A and B are shown apart, each in its own frame.
Chain A
């Protein structure tokens, strides 16, 4: 047993922390206020190797593993949840292509994602009427000549307008249910791919969320990612890893809430003493610290299993569920400790409060995580 990271893991974490505190933190509040996609930060993340952390180095990735990846996302999320999710989705897309892609797909996409030549990768699974139940998707892929033509709409697509490549799931065999879904790689700017509305989100505002519409969007035969009809496997494999990313983001959020609250509680006085000396406040800090450590351990355990190529789906779902739910409690407590100052943008906690809310929703709602866990329980336990 060893709870300490390897030298490499610690080095990645400290590089991410340095970037986060020196570069990302000063820009985060303004980017949020203006909903401004932080291009320059993303390029710097690319230069640091943080856009393809767990991707083989032959394809331009850092190849330092899932634990280092989780640690890096935690550090970025500590200062900017928006940047963390943009980074996490690009990493997830890269890993998915590395896992399922052909040599030519990997050679084309991965170096561009890793270096930020393409500013982002996107994951196009959700639709207006198909979220937790992707099997009800209606986007179609029909054969045309040697290739395919896509028609349909994808919703809530992180970085969809900035992506060099989007993994798009579509029905390639309408009568075949789950087994008729295929994953495709669609490059940004492909004719027939239209970027729809920019969503006005309550949080993670400097990340970009759009809908994408495919209108007779022609893609070549070699755009298929993985095998035809195996799209759900691609999607679920990606999400298992993606959940570690969001669990890491939520863990970083709790840490940010704790740090801000501890700082404020030491400075702020009431009734003649720092409010940290009142048990009502001190105990809230203790609970946040305990929640943080639990979330962190669950996330790192899932990442460790993934890195060791052991089953980790249940553990990733638990980490995502636990960390995102704990984050809700922590950010709300943080606002409470700050009183009125928690409700205005002079302090970072109101942003944390808004940013955290999506964490129990995206990449599988808490309800979907519980379904995943319960399914495993009924299969294995008791």
Chain B
């Protein structure tokens, strides 16, 4: 048993931490307030190999393991959670499934430039009336000869406004329910594709999401990712990995808030003492540090299992569930430690609190994670 990072993983952490401190933290507040996509930072992430962390080098990636990916996600999200999710979507929800389910040709055209970070990917499963229940999706892909014609609407699509290619899930056979779903690689340059305006979100405002419309979009058969009817499997396996990314994001947000709370508590005086002298504050910090540590171990374990190639659905769900709910608690306590200063934009903790909230919702709500975990418990 060895629950520690190895040398390479520590290097990744230190490198990402430095980058987050110098390039992300100083700008994160502005990006948040202005709802501004951090194009330059994303370019630098690409140069560091962080847009395709666990993709093999011959396919344009950095060829690192998933523990390194989780560590990188935590550190980048500690600097800017919005930047973190841009990275997470490109890595976990785009590159990972193309690498896993793509043909050689698809990997060449649809993976290499994305893993290098020259182009950006997105993942479109959610629809206006179908979130947690993917089998209810309305988007249709009708086969005509060697082509599919796609019609439908996807919403809340992170990276949607910037994406060059979107992985789109659509029904190819509605009568089969979730077994009638197929996956498509849709270049955003195709005729019939359009975007709505960017969503005005509570948090992670450096990343943007929007609604995507597909009107008689014609796709050649070679743009289908995986077999017909395999879409649900593609989505679920992809989300098993994605949840590790979001758990790591939640962890990074909490870590940032915790560090700021400790620093503030050491400075701030009340009743003649630094507030760190009061047990109410000490114990809050102790609980924050303990819960962050628990989440980090769950995240590392899930990533380690993915690296081992063993099934990790329940472990990813636990990491995602615990880390996201922990993050909301910890960021809220960080505001409490800051008092009134926690409620204004002069400090970053209010942003961390807003940023944390989405981690309990996207890539499977807490409720969906509990369903996954409970099913695993009850089959045991």
Contacts and interface: CB of A to CB of B under 8 A. Distances in A.
Given A293-B318, A297-B298, A373 B289 contact: yes
Contact of B1 (A3, A283, A290, A381): A3
Interface residues of A, number: 45
A286 B370 contact: yes
B72 to A, nearest CB: 15
Contacts of A322: 290-291, 294
Given A286-B321, A370-B283, A297 B374 contact: no
Interface in A264-317: 265-266, 276, 279, 282-283, 285-290, 293-295, 297-298, 300-301, 303-304, 315
A130 interface: no
A176 interface: no
A359 to B, nearest CB: 15
A266 B9 CA distance: 42
A377 interface: yes
Given A1-B6, A3-B3, A294-B298, A283 B285 contact: no
A370 B286 contact: yes
SS class, residues of chain A in contact with chain B:
helix
B378 A321 contact: no
B377 A286 contact: yes
Given A2-B2, A290-B321, A382 B262 contact: yes
Given A262-B378, A297-B301, A286 B373 contact: yes
A374 B282 contact: yes
Given A283-B367, A287-B370, A382-B266, A300 B289 contact: no
A294 B300 contact: no
A30 interface: no
Contact of A276 (B2, B286, B322, B378): B378
Contacts of A303: 1
Residue with the greatest number of chain B CB neighbours at <10 A, chosen from A262, A266, A378:
A378
B33 interface: no
A113 interface: no
Residue with the greatest number of chain A CB neighbours at <10 A, chosen from B1, B2, B279, B318:
B1
A276 B370 CA distance: 13
Contacts of B2: 1-2, 304
A67 interface: yes
A128 interface: no
B293 interface: yes
A1 B370 contact: no
A367 B372 CA distance: 34
A297 B305 CA distance: 14
Nearest to B297: A297
B250 to A, nearest CB: 14
A304 B369 CA distance: 29
Contact of B322 (A285, A294, A315, A374): A294
B4 interface: yes
Interface stretch (A4-12, A151-159, A197-205): A4-12
Contacts of A318: 289-290, 293-294
Contacts of A1: 2-6, 9, 67, 300, 304
Interface in A1-36: 1-6, 9
Contacts of B293: 298, 315, 318
Contacts of A288: 377
A67 B2 CA distance: 10
Contacts of B282: 370-371, 374, 377-378
B298 A293 contact: yes
A301 B297 contact: yes
Interface in A65-86: 67
Interface in A165-209: none
B276 interface: yes
Interface in A360-382: 367, 369-371, 373-374, 377-378, 381-382
Contact of A3 (B301, B372, B373, B380): B301
Residue with the greatest number of chain A CB neighbours at <10 A, chosen from B2, B4, B290, B321:
B290
B39 interface: no
Given A290-B318, A318-B293, A370-B286, A285 B377 contact: yes
B104 interface: no
Contacts of A371: 279, 282, 286
Given A1-B3, A321-B290, A290 B285 contact: no
Contacts of B287: 370
B286 A377 contact: yes
A352 interface: no
A258 interface: yes
Given A2-B2, A377-B262, A289 B318 contact: yes
Nearest to B264: A382
Interface in B180-211: none
A320 to B, nearest CB: 10
Interface string B302-329: 0011000000001100100110000000
B303 to A, nearest CB: 9
Contacts of A381: 258-259, 262, 289
A299 to B, nearest CB: 10
Contacts of B285: 373-374, 377-378
A9 B259 CA distance: 36
A373 B4 CA distance: 20
Interface string B253-292: 0000011111101100000000010010011011101110
A338 B96 CA distance: 43
Residue with the greatest number of chain B CB neighbours at <10 A, chosen from A4, A321, A377:
A377
B129 interface: no
B376 interface: yes
A294 B294 contact: yes
B371 interface: yes
B1 A67 contact: yes
A285 B378 contact: yes
Residue with the greatest number of chain A CB neighbours at <10 A, chosen from B293, B300, B372, B374:
B374
17 contacts: A3-B1, A5-B1, A286-B321, A286-B371, A289-B376, A290-B373, A294-B295, A297-B301, A298-B294, A304-B1, A321-B286, A370-B283, A371-B279, A371-B282, A381-B259, A382-B260, A382-B262
User: What 3 pairs across the A-B complex have the smallest Cβ distances?
Assistant: A382-B262, A374-B282, A282-B374
Given A282-B370, A382-B261, 20 more contacts: A3-B1, A3-B304, A6-B1, A262-B378, A286-B374, A289-B374, A290-B373, A295-B294, A297-B294, A297-B298, A300-B1, A301-B3, A318-B290, A322-B291, A367-B279, A367-B283, A370-B286, A378-B276, A381-B258, A382-B263
